Amino acid sequence: MKTVFINIKELVQVENSPKKFVSGKEMNILPTLKNAFLIIENDVISDFGIMEKLPNNIHFNSIIDLTDKLIVPTWCDSHTHIVYAGTRVQEFTDRIHGLTYEEIAKNGGGILNSAKLLQKTSEDDLYQQSALRLEEIIQLGTGAVEIKSGYGLTKDAELKMLRVIKKLKDNYPIAIKATFLGAHALPSAFKNRKNEYLTDVIENILPIVAKEKLAEFIDIFCETGYFSVEDTEQLLKAGKMYGLQPKIHVNQFNAIGGVQAGLKYNALSVDHLEEMRPEDIESLKNTNTMPVALPSCSYFLSIPYTPARQMIDAGLPLALATDYNPGSTPSGNMNFVVSTACIKMKMTPEEAINAATINGAYAMGLEKTHGSICKGKKASFFITKKIPGYSFIPYSFGNNHIETIYINGLKTTQSSF
Ligand code: NIG
Ligand code: FE
């Protein structure tokens, strides 16, 4: 099955040979082709170029004219918690009335609130609730996503979450990577016994996660009042023995050395980074660890934005993700993330689109198959409505500029599911 898209106004994020990620000044370069064609064969991209070079000796099953429309590779959302039960709307209104996110957590709300609800929810119900969110983000242009556990906080509930993620992987065409986040918060049953909980996670849950191949990555919330740098090192060390690479929550409210702990254990990414000390930026230079910013979380909680300008100007790479979760970011809209990165973090549209595609793909180990328009990569991209250029996507914030989505070469609409 061969399809050709012709007269594409602009084919965005093209590359001839796949790169790992882009950093520093290179992030401001977004390679595109104007008046282009794209050929897909079954589920992969087989060729692309400018219209003058369109081969005339090929039989196509379908020819699609995209005059005035752009093609952009699907967004790569490398940090989400979309498997959860219910909502935390009450906490949202509590914050409007003056409570902080940290105060709510101290009063037994927050992550523990979600855990209580999830523990009571059946696996089937949890799957149905989560599948709806997955379908929602696909319609918003996301073609690869990482999903974390961490709202279970007991062996049974953590495994339930990870099995739901596995079922989503089996039933949906988009690329999904799973992360074990057993150390997300201290469950009330272990109050004042943090070390015992960590031991439980390491000795009783982690071996099953690894044996049943339920996760590729391991995560921990390294933060004052949650888990310390020592806890983080202990967990990452254990994760490494089971072949799970770290992708960790660090520097959200306090910079306590989480970045360095991640680097020590070769983290694929360090995420949040709202609070960055000069030494945190310095230590990330020339490493293979991707810093990940989550601007929708900053927006929703009214906390500082990750200092993207400082980081990119220092030569670092940066990826953007949603953090979609019930407490700090009840939104999985990567288009909004890209806009907010430009508007609030002063990233250029080129930097933001690189951060949300190729760098996001790298941050979940998918850079060989996703994140760009490249021969041999998955035919996962979206076609825009008639818009003047790619900068219009972040500029015209809050609007939907996507007309059609292709995942693995197939046109995907709400009725596909
Ligand atoms: O990434 N910071 C830790 N975890 C989530 C939020 C958890 C919650 O409030 O439910 C985050 O923001
Ligand atoms: Fe998160």
Query: Same structural domain for residues 355 and 382?
Result: no
Q: What is the pLDDT of residue 199?
A: 98
Q: Region 42-64: what's the mean pLDDT?
A: 96
Three-class DSSP category at 175: strand
Pairing outcome for strands 175-183 and 44-50: unpaired
pLDDT tens digits along 11-50: 999 999 899 999 999 999 999 999 999 999 999 999 999 9
Q: Region 312-317: what's the mean pLDDT?
A: 98
What's the CA-to-centroid distance between 73 and ligand 2, angstroms? 24
What's the CA-to-centroid distance between 109 and ligand 1, angstroms? 12
Query: Same structural domain for residues 148 and 291?
Result: yes
Query: Same structural domain for residues 312 and 244?
Result: yes
What's the CA-to-centroid distance between 307 and ligand 1, angstroms? 19
Q: Region 237-241: what's the mean pLDDT?
A: 98
Check which CATH number belongs to the domain holding 389 and give it. Answer: 2.30.40.10
What's the CA-to-centroid distance between 327 and ligand 1, angstroms? 6
pLDDT tens digits along 397-413: 999 999 999 999 999 98
- 414 and 135 Cβ atoms separated by less than 8 Å: yes
What's the CA-to-centroid distance between 359 and ligand 2, angstroms? 17
Atom 3 of ligand 1, residue of closest alpha carbon = 221
Residue 229 has pLDDT above 90, yes or no: yes
Query: What percent of the residues of the chain are helix, what percent strand, and what percent coil, each to the nearest 5?
Result: 40, 25, 40
Nearest atom in ligand 1 to the alpha carbon of residue 329 is 12
Buried b (16+ CB within 10 A) or exposed e, 25-39: eebeebebbeebbbb
Looking at every residue in the chain, the average pLDDT score rounds to: 97
Q: Residue 8: beta bridge partners?
A: 36
Residue 144 has pLDDT above 90, yes or no: yes
pLDDT tens digits along 359-375: 999 999 999 999 999 99
Query: Same structural domain for residues 219 and 358?
Result: yes
Query: Same structural domain for residues 226 and 164?
Result: yes
Domain extent, residue 405, equals 2-73+371-416
Query: Same structural domain for residues 171 and 286?
Result: yes
Check which CATH number belongs to the domain holding 102 and give it. Answer: 3.20.20.140
Q: How confident is the model at residue 108 (pLDDT cuts 50, 70, 90)?
A: confident
- 73 and 15 Cβ atoms separated by less than 8 Å: no
What's the CA-to-centroid distance between 83 and ligand 2, angstroms? 12
Query: Same structural domain for residues 137 and 229?
Result: yes
Name all residues whose Cβ lies below 6 A of ligand 1.
110-111, 114, 221, 249, 252, 297, 323, 325-328
Q: How far apart are CA 228 and CA 195, in angstroms?
A: 11
- 30 and 354 Cβ atoms separated by less than 8 Å: yes
Q: What is the pLDDT of residue 372?
A: 98
Q: What is the pLDDT of residue 106?
A: 86
Q: How confident is the model at residue 8 (pLDDT cuts 50, 70, 90)?
A: very high
Distance of CA 111 to the CA centre of its chain: 19
Ligand nearest to the CA of 330: 1
pLDDT tens digits along 164-188: 999 999 999 999 999 999 999 999 9
- Which mutation among 77, 81, 103, 298 tests ligand 1's pocket best, with the greatest number of atoms within 8 A of CB? 81
Q: How confident is the model at residue 299 (pLDDT cuts 50, 70, 90)?
A: very high
Atom 8 of ligand 1, residue of closest alpha carbon = 327
Query: Same structural domain for residues 115 and 163?
Result: yes
Q: How confident is the model at residue 58 (pLDDT cuts 50, 70, 90)?
A: very high
> Structural domain tally of the chain?
2
Query: Same structural domain for residues 403 and 317?
Result: no
Q: How confident is the model at residue 227 (pLDDT cuts 50, 70, 90)?
A: very high
Q: How far apart are CA 131 and CA 149, in angstroms?
A: 15
Atom 9 of ligand 1, residue of closest alpha carbon = 327
Q: What is the pLDDT of residue 107?
A: 85
What's the CA-to-centroid distance between 324 and ligand 2, angstroms? 7
Residue 135 has pLDDT above 90, yes or no: yes
Sign, Cα dihedral of 139, 127, 89, 101:
negative
Query: Same structural domain for residues 243 and 318?
Result: yes
Residue 381 has pLDDT above 90, yes or no: yes
Q: How confident is the model at residue 251 (pLDDT cuts 50, 70, 90)?
A: very high
Ligand nearest to the CA of 80: 2
Query: Same structural domain for residues 60 and 96?
Result: no
Atom 5 of ligand 1, residue of closest alpha carbon = 328
Ligand nearest to the CA of 179: 2
Q: How confident is the model at residue 7 (pLDDT cuts 50, 70, 90)?
A: very high
Nearest atom in ligand 1 to the alpha carbon of residue 113 is 10
Top-confidence residue, 25 or 108: 25
Atom 1 of ligand 1, residue of closest alpha carbon = 323
Q: What is the pLDDT of residue 338?
A: 98
Question: Among residues 338, 362, 386, which one ends one of the domains?
Answer: 362
Query: Same structural domain for residues 90 and 69?
Result: no
pLDDT tens digits along 179-221: 999 999 999 999 999 999 999 999 999 999 999 999 999 999 9
Distance of CA 154 to the CA centre of its chain: 25
Buried b (16+ CB within 10 A) or exposed e, 400-409: ebbebbbbbb
Residue 414 has pLDDT above 90, yes or no: no
Token pair in block for residue 16: 């001839």
